[in-house]
A and B are shown apart, each in its own frame.
Chain A
Amino acid sequence: MSAIERNNVHLGGSGGRSMIFAHGFGCDQNMWRFVEPAFASEFKTVLFDHVGAGGSDLKAYDKEKYSSLTGYADDVVEIGRELGLADAVFVGHSVSSMIGVLAAQKAPGMFGKLVLVGPSPRYIDDGDYFGGFTEKQIDELLQFLDSNHMGWSVQMAPAIMGNPDRPELGQELTNSFCRTDPDIAKAFARVTFKSDNRADLGKVDVPTLILQCSDDIIASRPVGEFVNRAIPNSEIVFLEATGHCPNLSAPDEVVAAMRSFV
């Protein structure tokens, strides 16, 4: 199976350069629905789902491969190779920011610019480093995901019913977006919140834009500033948008900041 099928790649837009959007933990490519159209007239746009999310091929999930962000970065590189991406703009939200940082190292020349929305190279505090979370809090989260199966089961109804070829059965779904396989989501949460990519930031050698929200408890301001200091050729824009998903809550602000960068 090609990476394009495996990762449910959707192509849009037109233009000389390409822009690839990578979603974060908890969602799928739908989270770019307010941002991607703004660039479709100047860029060829690429949307995809990480394996385990949205319309990706769940059978492609390999515990070993996806036990670190490297596995996800390999997928991005594979998609890029299949599409022949060169000098493209990589836009990553949340955990996908670090996936982009890794992918850019693996495939020099594939990405000419990085846009990191709410990045965090490490969520757990470590000595002088402020990540925003203690180890215990992250363990609590992972436990909570275990017990919050009600939300999960609603999201996964079509998969459980085993009728992917009869979409009408999915119509009564409470949530049609951001469906995730519960077991994979748990594993992804573990990989995301236990990752430490601080050492990879210095290796980024392309212009990088960091979009930092106000009042973001997942990736707070000191974390964004850390990323800004660690990536040589980077700039940081502080958004008025609150929360962790400005691409949904304040798309205009995100688009404006991106536009002046790319």
Chain B
Amino acid sequence: MDEARIDDFEDMFENAPCAYITLLPNGRIQRVNKTLLGWIGHTAEHMGGKRFSDFLNMAGRIYFETHIAPLLRMQGSYDEFAIDMVTAAGEPLQMIANAREGRDAAGKALFTRLALIKATDRRRYERELLQARDVAKTNLESERETSELREQFIAVLGHDLRNPLASISAGARILGREAKSDKEHQVIAMLETTVLRMAGLIDNVLDFARGRLGGGIALDRNASKLLEPVLHQVIDELRLASPGRLIEAEYAIDVPVDCDRSRIGQLVSNLVGNALSHGSSNEPVRVRAVTEDGLFRLSVANDGEPIPEAAMAKLFEPFFRGEVRASRQGLGLGLHIAAQIAKAHEGRLTVSSTREETCFTFVMPLRQRSQDHVRHEHQS
């Protein structure tokens, strides 16, 4: 081999680190460099005068004729296209190419020059990327379907559980009218407690499923109706269902609260239910609902062991269940739903827990919703 010389242009062409091909306007090969001959395994004599497409695989031929050749004619150059040549041994020679057309003054094509680099690894990598993308797409699709099915199942299950529960509730009421002994009354009271608790659980499951299905917690706000009677009713029911437990309630609701009253009822029910489960059984649960400083504030407090530090962070996450005796074990959705209801009202549910007291507080802004709306409309 001759010694390499830095200013040898013949060498720069022949042994360039890329392949060169010059084509005549009729698509036939005028010249190729040694680099290409080395890659492809043909002689210069064999390639000269043949069509460039003769050295492409069939796909490459069609692609060249339908895409590259017309583009070259129109814009004079075409960069970064993939093209597969075929070696003398019949192996694919995968390449990336740039092409330029040489033209006369009138714009007529005189020749086309191609510079090609081997791109076997790169092409494989690109193919793998494409495959990975397709796999990811498929997986995501099936994952989405599964989770949707699961949540739909929960929604249907929750719905179907309500009917038998309604029968049990009705049955207990009929029996209650005819009950004579204390024992009978006790059993029926227990039945009603369980029904109430179960109805609450089902509501939470349904809300949870609905939230996950994208519906979120829908509100039916109404500021013109009073909130207090709803709170009364919820707490009375809880009292009835929890014989032997004291629930103290204090109301100071002086201005209308623009909220979904049954949702707030559900929130209170969930918080009081939680306090009854976790609080000390010989101390009262204290409920306080007030309007002050432009806020509606509702707190539910109980005595007993404080909530462990570790549990505080997860308290409002779905399916979080604290340490509690098995009979009182819920799904772990009550606080999560309560927090979601708070959020839907643009409010917040917070908790403080000390040796003295554990207190959940819901705060929401009291806003003149309808008036805001009217003012906004006037502005716009």
A residues lining the B interface (CB < 8 Å): 24-27, 30-31, 33, 94, 133, 137, 140-141, 143-151, 154, 174-178, 193, 215-218, 242-245, 248-249
Chain A residue numbers with a CB within 8 Å of B69 are 243-245, 248-249
B74 and A141 within 8 A (CB)? no
Q: How far is the CA of A27 from the CA of B68 in the complex (A)?
A: 10
The main secondary structure of chain B at its interface with chain A is: helix
Q: How far is the CA of A146 from the CA of B71 in the complex (A)?
A: 20
Partner among A31, A154, A216 whose Cβ is within 8 Å of the Cβ of B70: A31
Chain B residue numbers with a CB within 8 Å of A25 are 66
Q: How far is the CA of A27 from the CA of B8 in the complex (A)?
A: 41
Chain B residue numbers with a CB within 8 Å of A149 are 126, 130
Q: How far is the CA of A145 from the CA of B71 in the complex (A)?
A: 17
Q: How far is the CA of A170 from the CA of B202 in the complex (A)?
A: 56
Partner among A94, A150, A178 whose Cβ is within 8 Å of the Cβ of B71: A178
A175 and B71 within 8 A (CB)? yes
Chain B residue numbers with a CB within 8 Å of A244 are 65-66, 69
A174 and B58 within 8 A (CB)? no
Q: How far is the CA of A30 from the CA of B71 in the complex (A)?
A: 10
Chain A residue numbers with a CB within 8 Å of B25 are 249
Q: Does B194 contact A (CB under 8 A)?
A: no
Contact with A along B73-113 (1 / 0, CB 8 A): 11100111110100000000000100000000000010000
Q: How far is the CA of A232 from the CA of B65 in the complex (A)?
A: 29
A151-B82 in contact given A31-B70, A245-B73, A248-B70 (Cβ < 8 Å): yes
- Sample of 15 more A-B contacts, CB < 8 Å, known A26-B67, A217-B51, A245-B73: A33-B74, A137-B59, A141-B58, A148-B63, A149-B130, A150-B81, A151-B82, A218-B65, A242-B26, A242-B27, A243-B26, A243-B27, A244-B69, A249-B69, A249-B109
B235 to chain A, nearest CB (A): 55
Chain A residue numbers with a CB within 8 Å of B66 are 24-27, 94, 218, 244
Q: Please provide the chain B residues from 25 to 39 with a CB less than 8 Å away from any CB of chain A in the complex.
A: 25-27
A218 and B70 within 8 A (CB)? no
Chain A residue numbers with a CB within 8 Å of B80 are 150-151, 154, 174
Rank and list the top 4 A-B pairs by shortest CB-CB distance, nearest first.
A144-B59, A26-B66, A248-B73, A137-B58
Q: Does B367 contact A (CB under 8 A)?
A: no
Contact with A along B49-71 (1 / 0, CB 8 A): 00101000111111101110111
